[in-house]
Amino acid sequence: MRIAMWSGPRNLSTAMMYSFGARADFHIVDEPFYAPFLARTGADHPMRAEILAGHPTDPKKVAQSLIGPIPENKLHFYQKHMTHHMVEGMPRDWISKVRNVFLIRHPAYVVASYAKKREGPSLDDLGFLQQADLLEEVRALGQTSIVIDSADIRADPEHMLKLLCAALGLNWDASMLHWPVGGHVQDGVWSKHWYEAVHNSTGFARAEDGIPLLEPEYAALAELALPSYQKLAKLKLA
């Protein structure tokens, strides 16, 4: 099985990658279209030069790697993807050959977390609009929509991961609840900037408190993203 997990940044996406990476039957890959995205758009992101130097920048080769032989002779392949990386010109034909899952998080939490690592994000940076569009694209392919909310995972990891595995037709593996401290060998080079908290973890963080209070500019940004989040939230596993 090949699972493409689609989210925006700061969505519990790295913890989910580590969860699947803790299984003996999965190979994982970390944001394979990040370097092609930077090369194509010229976007100024933290560690841009290191990312371009350390990861493949040809999107066609990246796409082929996602549907080619699974590395390490593993049975399954978990792919962590950022929706905002799929800009015009990125190959999309491979999407029909994987199981697509959508990981969501309330925009207020995303904005608050993102702004701590990179100031002044735009709506495009957060990936909510692109995530809603990708959902429609996947549904048009005839695939069942699988949506899971990071808040629900944090509130009850075992229950929600069991629901996700069942939706995928995948056997449950309790090793998904824990991973070694310090990161994963498949981390992208950008992990040094973005993954400090999850590198210090060995499992999912506790449930979050109430919706964070944002500065007016950031609150307006979260409000713009809210309809796309709500669209997917109506379909989430529960």
Of 221 and 117, the one with more pLDDT: 221
What is the Cα–Cα distance from 15 to 183, expressed in whole angstroms? 10
> 121 pLDDT band (50/70/90 cuts)?
confident
Tell how strand 26-30 and strand 2-7 pair up: unpaired
pLDDT tens figures, 37-93: 999 999 999 999 999 999 999 999 999 999 999 999 999 999 999 999 999 999 999
Computed over every residue of the chain, the mean pLDDT equals 95
Domain ranges of the chain: 2-233
What is the Cα–Cα distance from 66 to 60, expressed in whole angstroms? 10
Identify the three-state secondary structure at position 15: helix
Model pTM score: 0.95
Among 45-49, 55-59, 98-102, 213-217, which stretch is predicted with the lowest mean pLDDT? 213-217
CA atoms lying within 13 Å on the CB side of residue 87 = 15
Options 3.40.50.2300, 3.40.50.1360, 3.40.720.10, 3.40.50.300; CATH for 2-233 is 3.40.50.300
Residue 25: predicted pLDDT: 98
Burial 134-159 (b: 16+ CB within 10 A, else e): bbeebeeeeeeebbbbbbbbbeebee
* In contact, 38 and 51? CB cutoff 8 Å: yes
pLDDT tens figures, 172-190: 999 999 999 999 999 999 9
